[in-house]
Each structure stands twice: as structure tokens, then as C-alpha cells.
Structure 1
Amino acid sequence: MTDKYNMAIYVFLLIIVLFAAFQYYSLALKLTQMEIERHGKGYVSDEVWYVPSARNILRKTLGIIPSLPGGKYGASIIYNGNIEIAWIRKIAIKYNVSVVDENYHKIKAFYVESNNLNNINAFIQNISEYYSISDIVYGWRIPDADGINEYLNLEHPPLVKYLIALSILYLGDYPLYWRVPNIIAGALIVFFVFLSIRKLTNNPWLGLIASLLVSVDPIMRYLSSIALLDVFVALFSVITFYLAITRKYMFSILLAIIGSTAKFNTLFVLIPVYLLYIRRELKKDNSFINFIYYTTLFFLVTFGSFLAIQALISIPIINIIGFESWLNQSIFGAIKWHTSVKCAGAACPASSAPWDWFLGANGFVLYYISSNDKLVALGYWPLWALALAFSILFIPAYRIDRKTSYSWLFLLGILSGYILLWIIGGRTQYSFYSVQLAPFVYSFLAPLTTYIIVQKEKILYVLNDWYKLFKYLWRIVVELLTS
């Protein structure tokens, strides 16, 4: 009976994970087809920065020329001065080369395709006799952005760009294939939400409910379907969560730091990990000296490991630009970039404060499906708002139910990192950052609903704690006013 029970659980889990992957793949395919039908350049939202930087890293480090699907090759040709595009087209025909895209305004470029790479090279050699060709980017067409052929996206670490580059290398340089790493990451998030809730509650059915909810949340669907960095932040965060609840604190710290090579804000997951770590040490010895010692040790080890791992993962970048330039741009420059206002004004995308993400406000538009339909990077805000309200209302519950305390700590701990960033100057945060919180919204709501809200005695306990607090605060106010 137990074997059949476990088999049923894993069958349901497999169905949910495959369903999640199918959703993400379907949306990635739809966006690819829509862009092609619209004669666009294929990029969705900030893919215009991450995919070209991945392609540039690939060509600058390995000198590899990626192919397109179907054995085709493409080349974006960047030139100086002016060209006669009609003449270019005539020359292209002689070499069985097609001029596919000449619609560039911010960079002087045009894009060609052919079934034969040698034909493209011969064509380029021919026109080079008449025009000044400054650069050639092989692969899918580049976006229309000044200097995009040299761009390396140094304000963010390179891990995800490496994954995109690998996808381009082995699957082909094509919009759908750029998104395969994100599709896989999204499916893995769903899987680790299940593992985490099952571990916390010993209730696999609750884990299935939480994993299903996170799989269909809008922000998870959108960010797992396009080649942005943030779904990897969510993935490393939820794996860190799983390691922390199994009390493997050193591994969880290491995993979070490795995750920071995708994007620095992964490090916000270390806030709850630190609290769990220091709690364990204070249980052994609650002296102030012990607190200072282990706090200092935690931050020294974390900071040292962060620099070492960032440098290690960035070796290909360092080989291109040099160590000093990398340190200034990818560490100090990146920290300054994160903690400052990035873009302000009517021409800038909608920025948001962290609490907006729970209220469905100031969402970042990822893509316009039509004039009435768009992909907005927000979670299902009624449930998010409920999670935030409950996380505040049930603060006293952490002492009576460990099943909810861990997910509560991670939800509020990561959120506090974004709030701190907002306070110190990072006011232009975007709603797609909030995908990092998505696993914890549902990891918190599912156990809370089952283990606290449905149990009258626990609600009364929570309300009694709030009553004691307000009674104490009122006594202080009365003493101040009447003394």
C-alpha cells in the first residue's frame, strides 16, 4: 500500500512538472512565432541585452560561429558611413545570400542569411571593397541598439549568459532555443517547491498543491518562457531554502553564493539563512561574544567566497577585458548600478517598490500580445496580497508551528532585502524581480492554510499574542501621557 501511495505521489508530481514545462515551452514558442509574423527581431523584453551578450561572449572567447535552425547561417553586418542597400541586395543575390533585415536605426547594420557560410563570407568580402565593414556578428540578427555588437552586460554576472550561449551552441541561434534554459529552470523550481513542502510538513499532497500553484502563477509562466536572468535567481533561492530546512547551512550558503553568479539579488536569500545559522549557534552559547564571533565569521566567509566564486565564473570575461576592468565594472560598478536609480522619466519602463508586487501595481510590461493583451510581470496578486497580510498577521505563529516558520522567514527575509535596497537608493526596481518570491508565497500559503488557519486554537493563540503586545504598548503610551 505504501509503495502504491508513493508511486501515486510521484506520478502526480511528474504530471505537474511536465505540465509546467509544457506551459513554459508553449509560451516561448508562441512568442517566437509572433515575433517572426510581425517581422520583429525575435527578442522579448530584456532579452535584447542578455542574448547578444551571450553571443558576444561565445564569439569573443571561443571564436565559434553559431548556426541557425535548418542548417542556415546568419550574419549581422555592422558598417561605417552610408551604404546603398539596393546595390547590396543585388550583390547578395549573386552569392545566394538574402538580405533579411535592414531595419536598423540606432546602429548601422543589416542582417543576411544563407544556406552556406562560405557564400556569406564571400559576399562580405565583396562589399568590403566598397564599404567600411567594422564588425560581423554571426548567428541570429542582433537587436537595434548602439554598440550591441560589443556589449557584455557587465552589470550582471555571466552564469545565465553562459547557459544561453550553450543553448545557442548546441541547439542553434534561434529565439525558442535561447529560452530552453529558462524552461528547465522553471520546471526545476516547481520540483523543489514540492520537495521543500514535503520536507517541512511531511505532507506530500500539500507539496503537490504548492508546486501546482507556483507552476501556474503568471510571473512564473512568463519568466520561465523568456531568456531573462531572474528565474535562475528563484531557482537558486528555492534550492537554498530546501538545503536550509534540512539544516545543511554551509551548503545553503555556498549554493546562494553560486546563485549570485546569475544575479546579485540571489544573495537576499542569505538573510533568512543567516538568521537560522545564528539561531543555531546561540542555542549552544547565547553570549554576546559568541554572537559577534559567528556573525563576523558568517559575513567574512560569505564575502570572501562571493569574490572568489565571482572571479572564477568570470574568467572568460576577465580574459577579454582584464581583471582590473572586470573588478571595476562587474563588482564595484554592478553594486553601484543596483543601488542607484537606473532610469527615470516617461520613456523608462514602469519601476516599482517591493510592496507593489503584492498589490498588483506598477507591473513591468514584458511583451504586447495585442493592443488589449500584454504580458505583465506580476504574480497572481490576490494570493500574493493574502500571503503578505498573513505573514504579518501570523508573526506570533512562528513559535508554535515550525511547518510555517521557515517559509515565513524566507518570504519576509528576501522581501526585506529588496526593501533595504529600495531604502538605500535602488528605487528603480522592476516587478519581474519578484519571481524570486514566487516559490515562497506558495510555500508559505499552503502550510499556513492547513496547519494554522483551520485550527481554532492556533488562531486564538496568535490573537492573544497581538492582544498582549497592544496592551503593553498602550500601557507605555498612557504612562508617557499621564506622567
Structure 2
Amino acid sequence: MIRKYLDLIFYSTLGIVVAVYTYFTVKTFLPVNAYIGDEVWYPTAAYNMLKLIFHVSPPMYFPYPTGHPGICTFINICHPPLAKYIMDIFILIMGYSPLAWRIPSWIIGDLILITGFFFTREVLGKDLIGNLGGIFTAVILASCPNLWVLHGTAMLDIYVAFFSFLSLYFLLKNKLLLSMIFLGLAIASKEPAVMLIFPALYYIGEIEKRPIKRAYLGLAIPALVYIIVSLPIIIYVGGPLAWLHAKIDNTVIWDVSNGHISLNAVTQISAPWDWFLNIHPFGMGHGFYANVNPIIMILWAVTTPIAFIMKNLKMIITTMFAWSEWLGFVLVYILGNHTQFSFYVTDFAPFVDSYVVIVLFTIARKFYIRKEEKNVKENYSGGIS
């Protein structure tokens, strides 16, 4: 009975956190009746997909951005289409407007907080410490400046963050098939999630000893999901070979080049190691910046060895999910892409934020248990004497 009331208290607290987050989201982003940052590309591509691929033209209550030649037919083939499909659902219902294309990101932002609570509780346990850790994770996620800006706008990274976070959650619950489906959805939102295949395969190898099944789960399922999501684009560009050629030209070459922005825009560009100190946070316009919390980032780096020292597999996989994506950005930097941005942190921010809470609560629990054991021994010794 006590457990039931405690759960009710923590669920209610989580509900309050999510409600407050939603309120400030709407209050902050609803009044901005303009394109924010890269919204000039993604909502327009979403609308053009409806128009050119699905032959549906919802009413346009907001104009295309000016100063972008070819924007009326741009479908953003250099990035996977899932996030744009989700935007399309709301554009179909509400017409083309900032509110329509931002609402799914707002919903996903709330869902990330909820996922953070249950994820942390899954790792720490469903006791008082686990529930407290879950609430702390939700609060840390809500206060993450990178997630805040990216969840408020219609960009792709918040979709990667959400689907990959769900993938990790179900992975640690040993629901491997469901986890790999969500990993496929993350990859179908944006390419950085591809790096998560490596830590996922490692964890699957700890659970499933048959190599064929490991390959089926860790490689075939995400690839199949990605292809299914991409089918409309594959058909539109003229078939698998044309699509592969387009992906090489528009994704692989693009990802390892400096074409994202002029190298002279030094205040907008930040290398992956700069993110730990919030150097050159990306300016989104309208007073928004994709800031990074250096305290959380440094705590993540400093405490990562603790997961290995404790030999806690769930903690190890959580931090390695974050490091894998970060190392992916380092790799493309080495290959030639020196025009990277601080908002890429959003892709792996849920792993970082939740890991920091989990490791600190784990340390606190260990300290508390040892203190209690010491008190018991002292009392026992005193009783004997």
C-alpha cells in the first residue's frame, strides 16, 4: 500500500514537471511567427514531400522562406525522412504554419522527460532511490538548454534524441526487437544514430549468444526499418540504385565536407570537444542559442570510468550510447567536416543527462549502504561489550 502511494506521489510530481515544461514551451515558442534556425529547410521539405511525393497540398498559411533558390521543390534528400513525415501529419491537419510544424517537437520534448523518469527507474530500481532519481532526471532533461531549444523548433535532432532514448530504454529491459525497431526509427530521423549500432550490438551479444540472431537484431532490423521508412523517397527518385547514388552524393559526401556553413562564421562553428565548454553555441535567431551545460558534460566525462569500475552493464551501455554518437562527430571532423554545431549535442543529450543522474545516485546509494552497515556493526559491537 505504501509503495502504491509513493508511486502516485512520484507520478504526480512527474506530471507537474511535464505540465510546467509544456507551459513554458508554448509561452516561449508560440509567439515566434517566423522560421527559427534550420526551420527554413525541414518544414518546407516536409510540405514539399506532401506536394511532390504524396500529391497532397494542404493550405499554406505561411509563406516559403525567401532567399533560398529551389526551396519550392526541396525535399532534403540528404537527411532521412521520418521527422518530416511526422511534421506532415500535423501540416495535413492544421495547414502549413509554424504551430503545425512545431507541435510534434513539443510533444516529443514532453515524452523525453517521461522516458527519462522511467529509464532512470529501470536502471536504479523501482524503490525510493529509483523514483527520486527518475524525477531528478526529468528535471535535468527539462533544464538542458540544448534540448530546450531543439524541442521548441522543427528540426531533426530532437527526433533522433527521442527514438534513440526509447531504443536504449527497451534495450536495457531486454526487449531487443522493440529496441532495434526504435533504433531504426532514430536512424530514419538523422544519420548520427547509426553509431548506436555498435554499443547496441555489444549489449545484444551479452544477452543473445547466437551470432545469426545478433546480426538479425542489431543490423537487419534497423536497416529494414530505415528502408521501409525511406520507400516513398526511393520510389520518387527512381528506384534503389538512383536512391543510393543520391544518398552517396547528398549524405556521405555532404557529411564529411565543410559545406554546412562558411568557415569564416567562426562564432557559429564548434568542434565536438568545444561542446564540453559551451564554446561558440549555435545562434538560431530570435534570441535562441543552442547552449550546452558544461557542468553536466564534464560530469559525464569524469564519471564514465565509474561505470566500468563498478562493472555495471546498464550504466556502461548508457554512457557508451552517448560516447558513440560523440565519437561519430569526431570521426566526420577527422574526415573533413569542420563545420559542426553545438545543437548536435541534442542527439545524445538524453543519454548524458540521465547517465549523470544515475551515476551520482548510484554513488550516493553505495555511500549510504556502507554508512548503514558501519552503524549496524558499531551498534552490534557496542551491544556485545
Taking the aligned partners of 1:422 and 1:376, their CA distance within structure 2 comes to: 22
1:442 aligns with 2:353: yes
In structure 2, the CA distance between the partners of 1:348 and 1:30, relative to structure 1 (3 Å rule), is: farther
In structure 2, the CA distance between the partners of 1:275 and 1:181, relative to structure 1 (3 Å rule), is: same
1:329 aligns with 2:240: no
The answer to whether the 8 Å contact 1:354/1:415 transfers is yes
Aligned to 1:240, the other structure's residue is in SS state helix
Aligned to 1:179, the other structure's residue is in SS state helix
Q: Deviations over 1:331-351 (max 9, x none)?
A: 563122223332442257722
Report the counterpart of residue 79 of structure 1 in structure 2. Answer: none
Report the counterpart of residue 58 of structure 2 in structure 1. Answer: 66
Look up the equivalent residue of 1:148 and give its one-letter code: I
Q: Among 230, 233, 258, which residue is 1:341 paired with? A: 258
**Matched ranges for 1:107-122 at <5 A:** none
Report the counterpart of residue 28 of structure 1 in structure 2. Answer: 29
Taking the aligned partners of 1:390 and 1:320, their CA distance within structure 2 comes to: 47
In structure 2, the CA distance between the partners of 1:301 and 1:335, relative to structure 1 (3 Å rule), is: farther
In structure 2, the CA distance between the partners of 1:414 and 1:298, relative to structure 1 (3 Å rule), is: farther
Aligned to 1:279, the other structure's residue is in SS state helix
Q: Among 277, 282, 290, which residue is 1:377 paired with? A: 290
In structure 2, the CA distance between the partners of 1:213 and 1:347, relative to structure 1 (3 Å rule), is: closer
Q: Among 415, 433, 446, which residue is 2:344 paired with? A: 433
Q: Deviations over 1:204-250 (max 9, x none)?
A: 11101111110121111100111000000000111011011112233
- Under a length normalisation based on structure 1, what TM-score does the superposition of the two structures give? 0.69
CA RMSD across the alignment: 2.6
Report the counterpart of residue 381 of structure 2 in structure 1. Answer: none
Report the counterpart of residue 404 of structure 1 in structure 2. Answer: 315
> 1:361, CA displacement in angstroms?
1.1
The answer to whether the 8 Å contact 2:53/2:232 transfers is yes
Q: Among 276, 286, 289, which residue is 1:358 paired with? A: 276
Unaligned runs of 5+ in 1: 33-41, 69-73, 75-138, 285-289, 370-374, 460-483
In structure 2, the CA distance between the partners of 1:410 and 1:63, relative to structure 1 (3 Å rule), is: closer
Report the counterpart of residue 229 of structure 2 in structure 1. Answer: 313
Greater RCO (CA < 8 Å, at least 6 residues apart) = 2
1:48 aligns with 2:49: no
Look up the equivalent residue of 1:336 and give its one-letter code: I
In structure 2, the CA distance between the partners of 1:245 and 1:304, relative to structure 1 (3 Å rule), is: closer
- Under a length normalisation based on structure 2, what TM-score does the superposition of the two structures give? 0.85
Taking the aligned partners of 1:192 and 1:161, their CA distance within structure 2 comes to: 22
> 1:64, CA displacement in angstroms?
2.9
1:421 aligns with 2:348: no
Taking the aligned partners of 1:381 and 1:232, their CA distance within structure 2 comes to: 23
The answer to whether the 8 Å contact 1:379/1:438 transfers is no
In structure 2, the CA distance between the partners of 1:55 and 1:250, relative to structure 1 (3 Å rule), is: same
Q: For this pair of structures, how many residues does the alignment match? A: 363
Task: Name the % identity.
Answer: 26
Unaligned runs of 5+ in 2: 371-385
**Matched ranges for 1:22-421 at <5 A:** 22-32=23-33, 42-67=34-59, 140-202=63-125, 203-281=130-208, 294=211, 298=214, 302-323=218-239, 324-330=241-247, 333-343=250-260, 344-347=262-265, 350-369=268-287, 375-392=288-305, 394=306, 396-399=308-311, 401=312, 404-421=315-332
